[in-house]
Amino acid sequence: MLNAINTKLLLAILAALAVIGGAVLYQRDQAAKAAAAAAKAAAILQVQRDDDEYRKQQDEALRKQVEADKKRHNSAAAHEGKTWKTYIP
- Could you report the per-residue pLDDT of 30-84, keeping only the tens digit for each? 999 999 999 999 999 999 999 999 999 999 999 999 988 887 766 555 555 555 5
The alpha carbon of residue 17 and the mean position of all alpha carbons in its chain are separated, in whole angstroms, by: 42
| Predicted confidence (pLDDT) per residue in 26-41, tens digit | 999 999 999 999 999 9
Task: Indicate the pTM of the whole model.
Answer: 0.55
d(CA 19, CA 64): 67
Burial 25-63 (b: 16+ CB within 10 A, else e): eeeeeeeeeeeeeeeeeeeeeeeeeeeeeeeeeeeeeee
Residue 19 Cα distances to 24, 26, 44, angstroms: 9, 10, 37
